Each structure stands twice: as structure tokens, then as C-alpha cells.
Chain A
């Protein structure tokens, strides 16, 4: 580089046109040079390096929202499909008679003494106990599905009730999945949580146990646990249980949640994914209040996969 040129003094004044010309040349040169920089490739290398160092890169809120909405719609569709299928099967096999206790008389449901006449349980009598389970999420409070649940009351089987205090078993129903309430994280440790919520007899084969992980989870399937949280009422009283199994073990154990219930128990069964190292994943809680969601994550210790063969004792309180 010529020192002479480098030390040139601007001994002339530039006209506006000349100044604009230099300005344009500089702009064009900068733009052309910049277009040759592969920023996307650099970003890829940065993310790879971050992953190697165990640094969590939180996705953009926009991407999060899109993914959550996708999950919500997928979840709602899956739940609806399960409900329809189950209802159809149960109706076809006459396990359920959705019209039991109903009369062609449109006023029959509103007769206060209907049970005295038919010997069956009047649907309205069970609103209290049903909503006690359905509405533990605030968003469900106003949506106790009368139109769905009212008619679906099954008269206890006389064979089972002869010498026991058998409670009417509610038919398997799907509680409408509320919109995700929040994203939560525990410091740098976060996990993606999927939840399906069911109400009814968990011994039914309708339990939904999804085994396909979301693409972006980017974790080995052996690092993922499927957890089931059960809350309900047994003959002994209220119980709450939480149980996890590492996913590969579930091939023949689709009924992980059922183990948390016993015959004639009633309650809610919720499933969730949990990643053993809680890394690189976001938390999406569906079906929990924010407080419950945070509490759940914080209260459930990381499980050593090697110890997963031992179930949490039934009835353990969270």
C-alpha cells in the first residue's frame, strides 16, 4: 500500500454529486461484500458449538407460539378422535347406553322424582361430583359439559353392588384440553411436557399413550420418560399418584396410568413427557394451572433411568 496515497490530504472539495457517487460506491461495495458472508452457516456453527457446550438456546417466542398452537390443535384432534372412538365402541358393545334414564318425553330429565319412577340415577344428582374432577383447571370451570355428561350415567351392576359400596362409574370421557397456560422453566433446566387428560375408568383400553416425540425435541428416546399423574377418589379416600417409565420400556406397557387406579376408583389421569436431563426443551403445560405446573416440575425430582424399573408406590402423594 502506498504511503503516499494513504497520507493524501483532501485538497479538493467534493461536489454533492461526487460525494453521492462515493457514497454509492461504498454502499454497493458493502452490500456486495456482505452478500458473500454466509450468516446462516455461521449461525449453524454457533448453535452446534452451543449445543456442545450444553448451552440452551431458547427458541423465539414466535416459533414457540407456532409450535404450541400446532401441539394444541393436534392434541385436541387426537383427544376428540379417542373420545369418538371410545364412545362408539362402548355404545356398540352396550357397555354404555347413552339414553339410559332418558325418556322420549322432553321434560323427563327435569322431573325431580325421576329416580323414584325409574329406579335409575337422575343425571342432575351427579353434577357436583363430576365437576369436582372436571373443573380443577380454572378454564374448565365454566365448561362442565352438561350436554355431554348428563346422559352418560351408568346404573351400577347389581352383581357388583350386592355387598359393596359401589359408586357409579363414569364412562370414559375426555376433558376438553385447555389452551396452554404458560411456559415455565426451572433455571436452565426445562422439559417439554405433553399432557392428555382423561376422566373415567382408567382400566379402559382407551388410554392415550403417545409414543412419537415432537421433532424438535431432538432427544434420544431412551432419555424420555412417560409419566402419569393420577388424582382421584378410592374407597379409602382421595389419592394422588405420580409414576414415570422410560419410554422404551413402554412397548408392552401402554397402561402405565392404569396401574395408578384400582377398580372402582374415579379421577383424573394425566400423562406427560419428561426428559431425564431436561435440556434443550421447552415446557408446555396443558391442563394444569400455572401454579400446579410449576409445582409439578419443581416437586418431581429427576429420575435416574436406572431406577425406573421400580414404580413409585401407589398412592404416593406428590
Chain B
């Protein structure tokens, strides 16, 4: 049984919950509300949560986050897809302003390409890159085989590559 308290659960899984909800909502504010609600559920069910294995907990949190986000979306009536970047500000990384603008443009294009993907491709890619889930965990959460997850991710990346290439962003 892993040593588990609320702080450690939040530390390990807040990213998963947040991005699972964001994938559905594409709205920062609503996603934060959903994340808060999910972790309130965790608090109310700490006794049960403490009994779960890491994999079970991850799967449970993902399902709760997605369901809560879908519920919030129904109530909020927000569009699922949004081309608006999560953050408009450019972080101070020490790079030149030109570099930052290019990076920001690339980032926006990547997000746009991702948002444009069909759900079945976007979902595993978001879970993998944003929620930090492994292929096995994604397969468990989606109820498909690992091979299916891998092929969907590969296919999604190909579509994204095409989309980015059309915008002049490609590997040199």
C-alpha cells in the first residue's frame, strides 16, 4: 500500500486531472473549477482512495475528471475546441524577443493542430503529453489495446505534421 495523503495525491495527479478536464473544456477557468471539484471528491472519499493502487487511482481520477468536465461543459455550454492558447503571455526564458515570438507562434500552431485532430487521435495524445499517462494507462482508461493507442498516437502525429508543414513549421 503506497503512503498516501491528500497532499501527495494532489502533487502526483493534479496535472493529470487538470489536463484531462482541459481536454474536454478548453477553458482555463472552467478547468480549474473542475479540478477543484475532483479533488474535493478525493477528500470526501479519502478512505476509499487510500485503498487504491496507483494505477487504479490514476484511472479513477481520470474518469472522474473527464465526467466532471463533461458535466461542466453541459452546464456551461462552452465550445469544446478553442484555438486560443492557454496562456497568451510569453515567459521570460532569457531568449531574444524574436525567438520567443517564434516559439510562441510554433506553440500556438501546435496547439491549433492538436485541437483540430479528431477526438480519437487527440485524446491519447493529450493524455500522453499533457496528463503524463503511459500508453498502458491510456489503454486502460480508454478501454482499448496498447497497440490501438500507439497507432492512434502515431496517426495523430502524422496529421499534425501535415498541418504544421502547411504553416511552414517542419523539421529541417
Contact = CB atoms under 8 A, between A and B. Distances in A.
15 contacts: A1-B81, A10-B158, A12-B158, A14-B158, A18-B161, A26-B157, A28-B103, A28-B107, A29-B129, A33-B111, A36-B91, A42-B35, A46-B39, A55-B44, A61-B3
Given A6-B117, A35-B91, 7 more contacts: A10-B161, A22-B160, A36-B86, A36-B91, A49-B36, A53-B40, A55-B43
Contact of B159 (A10, A21, A29): A10
A2 to B, nearest CB: 7
A216 interface: no
Interface in B32-47: 32, 35-36, 39-40, 43-44, 46
A8 interface: yes
A33 B83 contact: no
B115 interface: yes
A124 interface: no
Given A6-B116, A39-B14, A58 B160 contact: no
A5 interface: yes
Contacts of A17: 171
A63 B162 CA distance: 50
Interface in A50-70: 50, 53, 55, 57-61, 63
- Chain B: interface residue count, which band? 35 or more
Query: Which of B158, B160, B164 gathers most chain A CB within 10 Å?
Result: B158
A45 interface: yes
Main secondary structure of the interface of A (DSSP, over half): helix
A152 B5 CA distance: 49
A18 B171 CA distance: 6
Interface of B: 3, 5-8, 10, 14-15, 18-19, 32, 35-36, 39-40, 43-44, 46, 81, 83, 85-87, 89, 91, 103, 106-107, 110-112, 114-118, 125, 129-130, 154-155, 157-164, 166, 169-171
A2 B166 CA distance: 13
A249 interface: no
Nearest to A32: B107
A60 B107 contact: no
A57 B3 CA distance: 15
A34 interface: yes
Nearest to B81: A1
A27 interface: yes
A27 B35 CA distance: 22
Contacts of A34: 15, 19, 130
A25 interface: yes
Nearest to A48: B36
A61 B161 CA distance: 47
A26 B14 contact: no
A33 B5 CA distance: 27
A29 B43 contact: no
B106 A49 contact: no
B71 to A, nearest CB: 18
A12 B159 CA distance: 9
A215 B112 CA distance: 48
A63 B7 CA distance: 10
B157 A22 contact: yes
A39 B31 CA distance: 12
B100 to A, nearest CB: 11
Contacts of A1: 81, 83, 112, 115-116
B44 A36 contact: no
B164 A37 contact: no
B90 to A, nearest CB: 10
Contact of A58 (B6, B19, B87): B6
Contact of A2 (B6, B35, B44, B116): B116
Given A23-B157, A58-B5, A42 B116 contact: no
